[in-house]
């Protein structure tokens, strides 16, 4: 560097330092934006013919799936999870589905009510974020009476859906809501029966709990489909409009990465795992052959997509993101 250049730089040093300082401050201001760390509101809209379906997230729970799945070796479970970039415990969605037929507003399953920790219990907030109010719900249909599906029915003995009639299959109600079953249940199973009794109590008291028997149409456009196995009266619901169908599966599947490729893998807490497997295969075949939309309580939110039968199992195609139009 020449003496002249050095002298020039020395003369300009204060301006250069100021420029560097300003650039540094600007960088600091940008880095100081705090992390937001919240998720988008948990609802997703889909039209099925003329019927509007809104998937509602209740949140997620960490499921120790390697300890819960049966009929698979630990290696098969690990391989299925790792292919999907998952591990055990696996963060697992809890989804409900709000169906507006144009004549009736029907909620299928109500989430946990927060019973599975602070990442759960968000279904009511998401129903409101989706533009509805709990008081507008005309009917609530329950796929089965496990806590993560009925926990949102009531809070502290008060109905969360004050104008709704609640419906479930007779077999499911007979199993969970019979006081004799609570009394005779082993200690570790008692809380499930007690939780069901408490969740339904305000509706039973107001004569707003009604059971149904068999595969019947409950309101125009929504039909019950018996899929007993996971629980004694487990029920799926078929929404149909203008030649389009959506089958709300309930708990016919929990861990897609393992159970789609090998549908004979079952859950420890199935009340009859052979029946649960048979219903999974029968219902998946029906949905695959018919090209139905399906909506599942525990597939990644929104849990809506299509099923294709291939390679001795099934492949899951999540809904292509779509805006209402």
Instruction: Point out which residues bind Zn ion (CB under 5 A).
Output: 148, 251
Distance of closest approach, residue 297 Cβ to Zn ion, in angstroms: 5
Distance of closest approach, residue 34 Cβ to Zn ion, in angstroms: 35
DSSP states of 4-26 as a string?
HHHHHHHHHHHHHHHHHHHHHHH
- Report how far residue 230's alpha carbon sits from residue 269's, in angstroms, rounded to the nearest whole number: 7
Distance of closest approach, residue 77 Cβ to Zn ion, in angstroms: 19
SS3 229: coil
Comparing CA positions, the residue from 77, 137, 74, 151 lying closest to residue 109 is: 151
Q: What are phi and psi of 268, to 5 degrees?
A: -55, -35
Residues 6+ apart with CB under 8 A from 158: 202
Q: Which is nearer to Zn ion, 139 or 148 (CB)?
A: 148
Q: Which is nearer to Zn ion, 58 or 139 (CB)?
A: 58
Distance of closest approach, residue 256 Cβ to Zn ion, in angstroms: 14
Both tokens of 293, joined, read 């939309």
Distance of closest approach, residue 206 Cβ to Zn ion, in angstroms: 26
Residues 153, 93 contacting (CB under 8 angstroms):
no
Comparing CA positions, the residue from 235, 240, 237 lying closest to residue 220 is: 240
Q: Which is nearer to Zn ion, 171 or 240 (CB)?
A: 171
Q: Which is nearer to Zn ion, 139 or 251 (CB)?
A: 251
Pairing of strands 51-63, 43-48: antiparallel
Q: Which is nearer to Zn ion, 58 or 148 (CB)?
A: 148
Strands, sheet with 209-212, edge to edge from the N-terminal-most edge strand: 43-48, 51-63, 90-100, 105-108, 139-141, 165-169, 209-212
Residues 279, 282, 284, 290: is their CA dihedral positive or negative? negative
Distance of closest approach, residue 269 Cβ to Zn ion, in angstroms: 9
Q: Which is nearer to Zn ion, 126 or 231 (CB)?
A: 231
């Amino acid at each position: 560097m020449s003496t002249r250049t050095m002298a020039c730089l020395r003369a300009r040093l204060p301006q250069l330092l100021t420029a560097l300082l300003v650039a540094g401050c600007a960088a600091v201001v940008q880095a100081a934006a705090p992390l937001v760390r919240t998720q988008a509101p948990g609802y997703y809209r889909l039209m099925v013919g003329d019927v509007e379906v809104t998937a509602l997230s209740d949140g997620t729970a960490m499921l120790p799936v390697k300890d819960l799945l049966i009929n698979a070796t630990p290696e098969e479970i690990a391989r299925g999870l790792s292919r999907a970039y998952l591990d055990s415990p696996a963060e697992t969605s809890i989804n409900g589905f709000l169906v507006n037929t144009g004549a009736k507003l029907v909620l299928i399953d109500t989430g946990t009510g927060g019973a599975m920790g602070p990442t759960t219990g968000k279904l009511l907030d998401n129903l409101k974020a989706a533009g509805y109010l709990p008081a507008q719900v005309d009917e609530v249909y329950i796929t089965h009476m496990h806590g993560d599906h009925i926990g949102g029915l009531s809070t502290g003995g008060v109905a969360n859906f004050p104008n709704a009639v609640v419906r479930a299959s007779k077999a499911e109600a007979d199993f969970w809501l019979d006081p004799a079953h609570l009394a005779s249940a082993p200690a570790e199973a008692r809380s499930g029966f007690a939780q069901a009794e408490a969740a339904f109590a305000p509706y039973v008291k107001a004569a707003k709990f009604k059971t149904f028997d068999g595969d019947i149409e409950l309101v125009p456009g929504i039909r019950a489909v018996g899929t007993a196995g996971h629980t004694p009266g487990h029920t799926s619901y078929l929404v149909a409009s203008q030649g389009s169908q959506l089958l709300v599966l309930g708990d016919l599947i929990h861990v897609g990465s393992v159970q789609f490729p090998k549908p004979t893998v079952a859950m420890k807490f199935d009340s009859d795992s052979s029946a649960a497997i048979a219903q999974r295969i029968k219902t998946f075949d029906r949905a695959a052959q018919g090209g139905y939309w399906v909506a599942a309580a525990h597939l990644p939110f929104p849990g809506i997509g299509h099923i294709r039968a291939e390679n001795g199992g099934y492949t899951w195609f999540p809904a292509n993101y779509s805006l209402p139009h």
